[in-house]
Amino acid sequence: MIFNSSTPCDPEILAQYLGTFYADGWRIMSMFASESSPGATLNVILRRGSEIVRITSEVDGRYPAVTPRVPSASILERTIWEMNGIVPEGHDYLVPSIFWRKGNGHPLQKGGYFADGESRIPIPKNHVSGTGVYEIPVGPVHAGVIEPGHFRFSAAGEPILRLKIHLGYAHKGVEKLFEGPVKQNLSHLAERISGDNAVAHGLAYAHAMEGDTDIPARARYLRVILSELERIHNHLDVIAGLCTDSAFSVAAAYGAEAREELLRANHELFGNRMLMGSIVPGGVKRDLSADQIHKLENVVMRAGFAAMKVDGYMRRSPSEVDRLETTGVLETEDALRLGTVGTVARASGIVSDVRADLPYDAYGALSFNTVSRNKGDVMSRAAVRVGEVTESVSIILQCITDMDKGEIRTETETPEGFSMGIVESPRGELLHCADIRDGNIWRYSVRDPSVVNWPALELAVLGNIVPDFPLINKSFGLSYSGNDL
């Protein structure tokens, strides 16, 4: 979607300006700097319901930080500081996320990066003291096959007093890799930002690149089917993972089996287990035959039943319910303050879903509910996911019914200027922004839902016991790779 309109703002009053927006119920979706000469342009994208506003501000090396007024800007301003070298003055937690790096300078500055030398800074300690308080460093290498992240707990006995999450180990310079001619199709790169959300990232990239081109109807429905298939396999993974982490092995095995069956069907129908390489700007790559649609219908129904069955096992087991309820509560107020999105926000009572608020592709023509709960505990997050699987099954079946024969791909022309792609990934609101100048991508910014949800995890674990952390972490189900970019 093309989004050229913007409101300019003086950097000195940016904080106050955003503060008034925040007080009015707007949420900062993304904030990033785009180099220009001289200085840089700060882009702030705000959303309230279905309204979106872009505020731009020309800064020169420094500006008064927004974080003291809008807490959710903290992580975004830190990234701007680390990647672009622009100092948000008055920010209370300017700690780099990458502790050991090759080269000097700021990676996202144009030409300001030298690949020689390396810098290493020690990982900051938590500085919590008191009788019996000790610090548990966990990671970045974990015991399971999971992504790298360093967690530092301060605990007194078992209860957690403080948790600091240090990510950045999966930094791979994705945003920089996008910079180049718009003619080249970088869907494959977008899909690999976070492999389990390949469709969502591919779709957001496509939306950012195809401007306001009219996409063929069949392609729009197929995109919805792909998105929902991805949602189902992600949610099944988290639900099965919750059972595994609480040693509830039979339900875990059942969920994992259902997910595997779905992934194999994905491979058969779309040529890739994680549905990579399906979405391109202008449409989709593969069409489904009548036989395949029949097969899809079966597979999706089975996955839906499996999710309900695992949910039933969980609800009927007092020992499992005891583990999940009241664990890792994220209060609605905190969820709002930190600007959380997606399943995490919906489990804490914030009804927000890009598919409903800003319908894209065929979502406007489909009917579905936004599932939400208001307790904000692990059980609520699990319940939201189970509810969403059911909705996804219904959406896919509606698509199968409504879909007509036709083209699946069209030629697109990428417009100059600023364009965005906003989609609801299985984790929540995903935003890709592209600043296109003279047929080149000048700056490409990705804001994965994980970026804004990770800080909420630090809050949700407080007061819980250390052995419950894996469960809370799993219920958030966040991406490390999508966060580190």
Partner 1 sequence: MNYAELALMLFQAAALILISPLVAGIIRKLKAMMQNRVGASIFQPYRDLMKLFRKETVVSENASFLFRAIPLVCITSMVLLAAMTPFIYSGVAAPYADVIAMVYIFTMFRFAMVLGGLEGGSAFGGMGSSREAMMSVLIEPALLISIMTLSAMTGAGFDISEISSSIIGAGAAAISPALLLAGTSFLITMVAENTRVPFDNPDTHLELTMVHEGMLLEYSGKGLAFMELASMLRLTIFMALLGTLFFPWGTAVTMAPSALALSVVAIAIKMLVIAFGIALLESTIAKMRVFRMPNMLTASFALSLMAMISLYVL
Binding site for partner 1 (CB under 8 A): 134-138, 142-144, 157-158, 243, 245-250, 252-254, 257, 317, 319-320, 322-323, 465-470
User: What minimum distance in Å lies between the beta carbon of 143 and partner 1?
Assistant: 4
Q: Which is nearer to partner 1, 427 or 474 (CB)?
A: 474
Q: Which is nearer to partner 1, 228 or 320 (CB)?
A: 320
Query: What does the angle CA 320 – CA 321 – CA 324 come to, to the nearest 5 degrees?
Result: 90
- CA gap 143, 151 in Å, rounded: 13
Q: Which is nearer to partner 1, 257 or 297 (CB)?
A: 257
Residue 324 burial (CB count, 10 A): 26
Closest CA to 149 of 161, 159, 160, 141: 141
Tokens 């609101």 sit at which residue? 429
Residue 30 burial (CB count, 10 A): 22
Tokens 């800074």 sit at which residue? 121
Q: Which is nearer to partner 1, 23 or 465 (CB)?
A: 465
Q: Which is nearer to partner 1, 162 or 437 (CB)?
A: 162
Residue type, 361: D
Q: Which is nearer to partner 1, 135 or 297 (CB)?
A: 135
User: What minimum distance in Å lies between the beta carbon of 378 and partner 1?
Assistant: 12
H-type alpha helices, 271-418: 290-316, 318-324, 332-337, 342-347, 354-357, 378-402
Q: What is the DSSP string of 142-182?
A: -SSS----EEEEEEESSBEEEEEEE--TT---HHHHT-SBT
User: What minimum distance in Å lies between the beta carbon of 324 and partner 1?
Assistant: 9
Q: Are 106 and 84 in contact (CB under 8 A)?
A: yes
User: What minimum distance in Å lies between the beta carbon of 479 and partner 1?
Assistant: 19
User: What minimum distance in Å lies between the beta carbon of 210 and partner 1?
Assistant: 43
b/e map 227-248, b = 16+ CB within 10 Å: bbbbbbbbbbbbbbbbbbbbeb
- CA gap 390, 308 in Å, rounded: 8
Tokens 């990705």 sit at which residue? 446
Q: Which is nearer to partner 1, 329 or 341 (CB)?
A: 329
- CA gap 195, 193 in Å, rounded: 6
> Residue 273 carries which DSSP code?
T
Q: Which is nearer to partner 1, 151 or 178 (CB)?
A: 151
Q: Which is nearer to partner 1, 228 or 245 (CB)?
A: 245
**Cβ-based neighbours of 132, under 8 Å, separated by 6 or more:** 156, 157
User: What minimum distance in Å lies between the beta carbon of 476 and partner 1?
Assistant: 15
User: What minimum distance in Å lies between the beta carbon of 158 and partner 1?
Assistant: 6
User: What minimum distance in Å lies between the beta carbon of 51 and partner 1?
Assistant: 42
Q: Are 188 and 277 in contact (CB under 8 A)?
A: yes
Closest CA to 113 of 123, 101, 122, 121: 101
3-state secondary structure of 23: helix
User: What minimum distance in Å lies between the beta carbon of 167 and partner 1?
Assistant: 17
User: What minimum distance in Å lies between the beta carbon of 151 and partner 1?
Assistant: 9
- CA gap 352, 384 in Å, rounded: 12
Q: What is the CA radius of gyration of the chain?
A: 22
- CA gap 363, 420 in Å, rounded: 18
User: What minimum distance in Å lies between the beta carbon of 194 and partner 1?
Assistant: 22
Q: Which is nearer to partner 1, 378 or 396 (CB)?
A: 378
Closest CA to 449 of 324, 338, 351, 328: 338
Q: Which is nearer to partner 1, 60 or 322 (CB)?
A: 322
User: What minimum distance in Å lies between the beta carbon of 110 and partner 1?
Assistant: 42
Q: Which is nearer to partner 1, 93 or 134 (CB)?
A: 134
